[in-house]
Amino acid sequence: MRVAVLISGRGSNMRALISSCRTNEGPAEIVCVISNHPDAAGLSVALDNGIKTEIVDHRRFADRASFESELGRALESADIELICLAGFMRLLSPDFVNHWRDRLINIHPSLLPAFKGLDTHRRVIESGVRVTGCTVHFVRSKMDDGPIIIQAATPVHPDDTDERLAERVLHLEHHCYPLAVRWIAEGRVRVIDERAIIANADITKTWLINPEA
């Protein structure tokens, strides 16, 4: 499966996807990385790994429609079958999302549908919830919405800072995103009634309780 990764910055999850596709000899191949920022650090990482890069700078376009038209052209010309958003800091229009329906996925640093949007870790800590995590999901027109493919959880510690919590959640993201891409490329994921169904999935038998005493 031909995969494109869209980034705006360092591309931390992009690195995990590249590593997984290379080391596991899986059914997915990252064929291009596209950024809306010319100075995104992740671009050099992609080039160092021999992956084609392209810049579609949103600031050069008069409106979102023209920006997305050029973005779509870049994706179509590369024969992309799956798009992975990895820290891509642009909201995509319903027209774009619907065109790529069930071929466009995102990772978010919370247990959706809780804590959509930005400043996630700060809001998690301030809310007093005991558990947080990450979610990989198919993209829909609403922000941070769509059928959930995989989630992973971590406890929130009493002394957590935004940075410490973000580090633990990022570790989970680097585990979950490659799994989701592999499952999709293997044809194991179907969307039925807006639920992502994973064929032959093992359900975890462990509990996460916080605090325990």
Residue 52 belongs to a domain:
yes
CATH code of the domain containing 16 = 3.40.50.170
> Which residue has 């995104």 as its token pair?
40
For 146, the domain range is 2-198
Give the model's pLDDT for residue 24. 63
Mean per-residue pLDDT over the chain, rounded: 95
Fill in the amino acid letter for 89: M
Q: How many CB atoms lie within 10 A of CB 195?
A: 9
Residue 143 belongs to a domain:
yes
Helix (H, G, I), strand (E, B) or coil at 54: strand
- Structural domains of the chain, count: 1
The model's confidence at residue 68, banded by pLDDT at 50, 70 and 90, is very high
Give the model's pLDDT for residue 204. 82
CB distance 102 to 138 below 8 Å: yes
Residue 209 belongs to a domain:
no
Residue 135 belongs to a domain:
yes
Tokens linked to 37:
């920022």
The strands making up 104-108's β-sheet, listed across from edge to edge, are: 52-55, 29-35, 2-7, 82-85, 104-108, 131-138, 148-155
Phi, psi for 158 (deg, rounded to 5): -60, -30
Whether the per-residue pLDDT at 89 is higher than 90: the answer is yes
Residue 137 belongs to a domain:
yes
Residue 203 belongs to a domain:
no
CB distance 130 to 118 below 8 Å: no
**Structure confidence by residue, pLDDT tens digits, 138-195:** 999 999 999 999 999 999 999 999 999 999 999 999 999 999 999 999 999 999 999 9
Q: What is the model's pTM? A: 0.95
Phi, psi for 120 (deg, rounded to 5): -60, -50
Residue 207 belongs to a domain:
no
Is 99 designated active site? no
Q: Which of 108, 121, 137, 174 is catalytic?
A: 108
